[in-house]
Chain A
């Protein structure tokens, strides 16, 4: 076997080790890895320093990778022998003890050091910085004796250390140069509210004060200001910023400015040397939050693993203060400027302040104080640069009355009690999830693996994301920016779709191969999604892969909890005949079907049918499949309409039948339900359907994006038309746009919210040519599909109804 390449990682912190973890996932055997670390601890979660300082957590609880982890992965961990020099010519690193270690690649992740204010007395005993576990240990010890603690700098770290020392019983004063605390995260009003809340806990603020000198002879006795005044202090903690640690890189001749300069592939001036984390400067930016570091880690690992595929293009960050009981969230440009508008809500009594800065109907900045539950939701819109004009009037109240099935997320997760059940499928409570996240989880994928929450139907994914967000704060959001389909790949839904269209990939296998799927067989998430994308892009040539369809769509029946199936024949518009009913009844009787039930969509369901009996029952029913089992057109529900109803103004039953005949056999990203009501009394409940029409005197109103499931959403009025033909064409155009654009398993309700009604209107209502083209594209796709039941009865489709063999005793 060829000798492994040698990777030397300088820095044993979150960025460096995260990169190693990502690398091991992709290429576990590529490198022999040596990690050098300054601190004596294995890798711990630096974000949790404050809970440790405040006595809410113990050091051991913050460990992310213990010594066993390094051993298990064959990584040599060397703490306490710092690297002194990188010899790029001989490709060796030299430790302070004079030992040399050869390398093929280096990853520099030296992080940053606390900056000290350049004032006299800064080196006196009793002056501390707040940066790592050593500082926490020292502060814990010194705080035991109480006394006055003065914090210089009211940034995130300053306030956190103030909270920690206050909790340990010291008298804390925070000194700040600006007029309010957290001036980089808050405006004046938010700052004042925060100050008030912290003062109520006994923390004192001295604002607009410039420190001049630390007083004392043998140790700290006080702090003097430029105006000559002074205050007593037993300890002084400086949190005035961080400096990237670049000395090692600089000495090695690597280009540095504020930080070590890196390209979009996280390579330094020397392509053998990568750098990630707080020590780097990328496109002029340095980052001190964890989320961007994780994004960088992913990209650096991808290149170290020799995949060479991803680029790091910078991060949008949000911040959250980790002080128990104080809710604060800010992101982007929350101060605004001349060409921006502001939406604000202030409830001083309850201590709630919300502000969103808008520019051209897009969110530019977010500031939330007191109630941050809508932070993640707003932040997603900020990152996606979505047009929010249609939800402007309720933007500050969140999406509680919007969205479907929690996919776009109920915004209440943070407020739920610990006992609340988040994942109904696996019975996982909020408390269990939050506990697991605190143990060191960062992604939905990890939560899924560790707790099972959202691992089954996935409808609680939004809630889990919210819990990650509210538990981790800013750490989480970065990983969410680019959501891969699943753990089998790093590509997003959109990227996979684009590749299928552009490269004309005609099957699931071809797509997996072309995009280098980590798992050649895929998984239960990506297989059905990619199969749908292939079929949607190439309705005629694309191969429909039965092994990439859920059992329901393979058996063309709905699997039940006991492994039997349910059979729902298509009954157009819900209108049947005595002869048809008789036939259904006879079939049910002949085969002793355990239950016959009307569905919510006005159809008949034969429940408890063994798989082996499906083909014979289909043959005897002699009716088309109702597709009640598929991500497909389900039913068009209807009311009686003007033919019989004394209030009816339009023939809703006929329109429902026509719609169903036009759309049956349509596959879609998720199930699609329609309804037609004959008058505004709306008995068919058209306003909670994916597409719903309501008859009025002068014609029909068309509504879209409604949902009556887990998360009710009233549909939006798309347009009003005069004729049935227009209803059908616009419904087709809308559904085709949805089919082409929505992610797999995204219902129309969240999709309409995501893309905006205006964009949909422009294509399917206003632009007659596009409307026609979309409708024709749907007609073409449907024309490729045959009725699966008839195919099975004719012997052209094998659903593997019976056993492979029967072995008798």
Chain B
């Protein structure tokens, strides 16, 4: 696992998100109203909508294209929808956000 600094916590809007370009594809970094951070692939399992542009509330992100709801801890779409996105580890040190990517990831 390699850790990459992404920027400051405050660079990610509360209740929203930003995206990061990585060799593993685009990853959405999301922050809920409590300030909790999540990282998932930036592609909704439905039709590939950019989750970084969705509403974040609690543990859920609402996809901006067709309003699918994705649980950010498990990376799974909420019923009745079915599908999942890959989640990625994040950590913060002070104000800095770090993203963990394992080497095996293409």
Instruction: Give chain A's interface residues, CB within 8 Å of chain B.
Output: 425-426, 449-452, 455-456, 509, 519-524, 527, 546-548, 550-551, 554-555, 559, 561-563, 800, 803-809
Other contacts beyond A452-B80, A522-B55, A806-B20: 5, CB < 8 A: A449-B79, A521-B56, A805-B4, A805-B20, A807-B99
B19-A547 in contact (CB<8A): no
Q: Closest approach, in angstroms, between the C-beta of B24 and any C-beta of chain A? A: 9
A521-B57 in contact (CB<8A): yes
With an 8 A cutoff between CB atoms, is B54 at the interface? yes
B80-A527 in contact (CB<8A): no
Q: Closest approach, in angstroms, between the C-beta of A685 and any C-beta of chain B? A: 30
Q: Which of B63-87 contact A (CB under 8 A)?
A: 64-67, 79-81
Residues of B within 8 A of A807 (CB): 4, 20-23, 99, 101
On whether A523 and B80 interact (CB within 8 A), knowing A561-B47, A804-B20, A804-B29, the answer reads no
Residues of A within 8 A of B80 (CB): 449-452
Residues of B within 8 A of A550 (CB): 64
Q: Closest approach, in angstroms, between the C-beta of A25 and any C-beta of chain B? A: 15
A551-B21 in contact (CB<8A): no
Q: Closest approach, in angstroms, between the C-beta of B78 and any C-beta of chain A? A: 9
Name B58's closest neighbour in chain A (CB-CB): A521
A555-B53 in contact (CB<8A): yes
Residues of B within 8 A of A509 (CB): 33
A803-B18 in contact (CB<8A): yes
B side interface size, CB within 8 A = 41
With an 8 A cutoff between CB atoms, is B45 at the interface? no
Contact with A along B22-42 (1 / 0, CB 8 A): 110010010011100000000
Q: Which 6 A-B pairs have the closest CB atoms?
A: A521-B57, A547-B15, A804-B18, A521-B33, A551-B53, A524-B62
A803-B21 in contact (CB<8A): yes
Q: Closest approach, in angstroms, between the C-beta of A773 and any C-beta of chain B? A: 36
B64-A559 in contact (CB<8A): yes
B53-A554 in contact (CB<8A): yes
Contact of B54 among A522, A551, A555 (CB under 8 A): A551
A522-B23 in contact (CB<8A): no
Contact of A809 among B19, B23, B34, B55 (CB under 8 A): B23
B66-A559 in contact (CB<8A): no
Residues of B within 8 A of A524 (CB): 54-55, 62, 67
Residues of A within 8 A of B49 (CB): 563
Name B8's closest neighbour in chain A (CB-CB): A804
B18-A548 in contact (CB<8A): no
Residues of A within 8 A of B47 (CB): 561
On whether A547 and B23 interact (CB within 8 A), knowing A522-B57, A554-B53, the answer reads no
CA distance A522 to B32 in the complex (A): 11
Residues of A within 8 A of B58 (CB): 519-521
B62-A523 in contact (CB<8A): yes
With an 8 A cutoff between CB atoms, is B89 at the interface? no
A805-B6 in contact (CB<8A): yes
CA distance A555 to B18 in the complex (A): 12
CA distance A807 to B5 in the complex (A): 9
Residues of B within 8 A of A559 (CB): 50, 53, 64-65
CA distance A250 to B19 in the complex (A): 65
CA distance A527 to B66 in the complex (A): 16
B66-A563 in contact (CB<8A): no
On whether A452 and B57 interact (CB within 8 A), knowing A521-B15, A524-B67, A804-B20, the answer reads no
CA distance A803 to B50 in the complex (A): 12
Which of A522, A523, A563: most chain B CB closer than 10 A?
A563
Interface CB pairs A-B, < 8 A, 24 = A449-B79, A452-B80, A520-B34, A521-B34, A521-B57, A522-B55, A522-B57, A524-B55, A546-B16, A547-B16, A547-B55, A551-B54, A559-B53, A563-B49, A563-B50, A803-B18, A803-B21, A803-B26, A804-B11, A804-B12, A804-B20, A805-B6, A807-B22, A809-B23
CA distance A63 to B49 in the complex (A): 38
CA distance A550 to B23 in the complex (A): 29
Residues of B within 8 A of A804 (CB): 6-7, 11-12, 18-20, 29
CA distance A561 to B99 in the complex (A): 28
A563-B48 in contact (CB<8A): yes
CA distance A425 to B81 in the complex (A): 13
Contact of B55 among A449, A527, A555, A800 (CB under 8 A): A527
Name B81's closest neighbour in chain A (CB-CB): A452
Residues of B within 8 A of A548 (CB): 15
Which of B22, B32, B79: most chain A CB closer than 10 A?
B22
Residues of B within 8 A of A456 (CB): 66-67
Q: Closest approach, in angstroms, between the C-beta of A791 and any C-beta of chain B? A: 17
Residues of B within 8 A of A809 (CB): 23
A523-B15 in contact (CB<8A): no
Q: Closest approach, in angstroms, between the C-beta of B95 and any C-beta of chain A? A: 14
Residues of A within 8 A of B16 (CB): 546-547, 554
Q: Closest approach, in angstroms, between the C-beta of A150 and any C-beta of chain B? A: 47
Q: Closest approach, in angstroms, between the C-beta of B11 and any C-beta of chain A? A: 6
Q: Closest approach, in angstroms, between the C-beta of A561 and any C-beta of chain B? A: 7
Which of B6, B12, B16, B29: most chain A CB closer than 10 A?
B16
On whether A800 and B13 interact (CB within 8 A), knowing A527-B55, A547-B55, A807-B101, the answer reads yes
Q: Closest approach, in angstroms, between the C-beta of A483 and any C-beta of chain B? A: 19
Residues of A within 8 A of B29 (CB): 804
Residues of B within 8 A of A803 (CB): 18-21, 26
CA distance A807 to B29 in the complex (A): 14
CA distance A548 to B57 in the complex (A): 11
CA distance A396 to B67 in the complex (A): 37
Residues of B within 8 A of A555 (CB): 53
Residues of A within 8 A of B13 (CB): 546-547, 800
CA distance A451 to B26 in the complex (A): 30
Residues of B within 8 A of A451 (CB): 80
CA distance A449 to B12 in the complex (A): 29
Q: Closest approach, in angstroms, between the C-beta of B1 and any C-beta of chain A? A: 14
Q: Closest approach, in angstroms, between the C-beta of A435 and any C-beta of chain B? A: 13
A425-B66 in contact (CB<8A): yes
Q: Closest approach, in angstroms, between the C-beta of B69 and any C-beta of chain A? A: 8
A520-B33 in contact (CB<8A): yes
Name B4's closest neighbour in chain A (CB-CB): A807
Q: Closest approach, in angstroms, between the C-beta of B7 and any C-beta of chain A? A: 5
Contact of A523 among B12, B32, B55, B99 (CB under 8 A): B55
